[in-house]
Every structure is written in C-alpha cells, then in structure tokens.
C-alpha cells in the first residue's frame, strides 16, 4: 500500500518552463541562462558551475523580484488533489526548483517534506543559493525521507518529468512520468501520463 508520494516541482506541480527559467525570464537573463544550460549539457561545465553562473546573473538584484515573479507562475491543472492526498499519504516535494517560486503552492497546500533549492538573500538582495537538490541526488533524498517515516521504498510513488527524476524513479516502488520531457524518463517509468492534469495520477493510487 502506497504511503508516501514524492513530486517534482517544475512541470509537475507548476506548469511552464520551470522556476529557474521563469525567474530568468522575469529578470531578463533568460538568454544568458540558456547558454549556461547548453554549456552544461555539452559537458563543458559541471552542474555546480552551471548553478554558480546562473545565480551570478542575479547577484545584487532586489530580492523582491523573486516574490513578484512567483506571483506569475501557473500551478498545474488538477493540483487541488493535493488537499485530499494529504489526508491519506505523506507528501514530499523533491525538486531542483526554487523554493520561493512555489509560494502559490505552499500558501494553500501542506507537504510533509520539501527539498528544494532556496535563494539566499542578503541585505534584501539576491546573494547566493542553498543547493539541496542536484541532478543526481533525488533518489538518495527519497530514501532518506522514507527512512524518517519508516516507510519501505516499495510503498513510495515518485512523480516526475525530467531526467533528473530518474534516480528517484529507480528507488520508488512505483514511478509516474508526468508530461515527460525526455524519452529516457518514459523508459524508466512504470506509467506515463501525457495529459497535463494531476487528477490523472489518481487512477494509479
């Protein structure tokens, strides 16, 4: 019996390009960030360097921009299921997305665990980022949460859409590729949902 459900943030709970890119778009650094991404995926820079370059684009910018940008993000269709799921399951967010960009979700829905990357603010300006989730450690985080709750990994469901969710898929007893962005995500999932509506996952619970 499923006891714990872990969700990715960007592309699953939030619709759109993702919290990092939405903030880049709002601030006006989108094209520079896209180049950083190309450098990473080409193998020219490490993931940590990618993050360092990205956050460097924002350093010194008023932190209020984060809050303004967070108001513009769109929650995923069907997100209201979270309210009912929280009555019967432990719920977690495990995401490389930006914590402050998920305010619309946190204001309304309760999650037992939230592992997200948080922008560090100093003197009311963007200073750095506290990285908790990278491209490789989602599976390890899911394992840690299951341990805290004394839940077997076989009783966990992981819901994600991108290649960095695959480590989480490999640990969970059941995995759902939700509106997947890469074929390898499909190959590593137990089921695939291509309709962008979170209510679709209910048939698998």
Catalytic residues: 8, 10
Q: Cα 5 to chain center, whole Å?
A: 13
Distances 42 to 1, 46, 176 between C-alpha atoms, Å? 41, 10, 28
CA distance 69 to 127: 17
For residue 26, the surrounding DSSP H or E stretch is helix 19-27
> Whole-angstrom Cα distance, residue 114 to residue 134?
14
Cα gap 142→132, rounded to integer Å = 13
Rounded to whole angstroms, the Cα distance separating 127 from 79 reads: 32
Spatial contact of 116 and 93, defined as CB atoms under 8 Å apart: yes
């Amino acid at each position: 019996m499923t006891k714990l459900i872990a969700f990715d943030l960007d592309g699953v709970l939030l619709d759109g390009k993702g919290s990092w890119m939405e903030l880049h778009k709002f601030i006006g650094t989108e094209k520079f960030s896209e180049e950083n991404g190309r450098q990473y995926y080409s193998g020219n820079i490490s993931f940590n360097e990618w993050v360092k370059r990205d956050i460097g684009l924002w350093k010194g910018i008023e932190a209020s921009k984060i809050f303004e940008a967070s108001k513009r993000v769109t929650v995923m269709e069907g997100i209201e299921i979270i309210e009912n799921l929280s009555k019967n399951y432990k719920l977690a967010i495990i995401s490389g997305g930006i914590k402050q960009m998920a305010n619309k979700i946190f204001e309304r829905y309760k999650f037992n665990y939230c592992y997200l990357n948080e922008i560090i603010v100093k003197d009311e300006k963007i200073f750095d980022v506290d990285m908790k989730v990278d491209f490789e450690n989602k599976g390890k985080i899911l394992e840690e949460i299951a341990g805290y709750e004394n839940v077997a990994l076989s009783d966990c469901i992981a819901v994600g859409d991108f290649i960095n969710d695959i480590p989480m898929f490999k640990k969970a007893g059941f995995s759902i590729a939700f509106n997947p962005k890469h074929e390898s995500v499909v190959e590593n999932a137990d089921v695939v949902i291509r309709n962008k509506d979170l209510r679709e996952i209910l048939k698998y619970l």
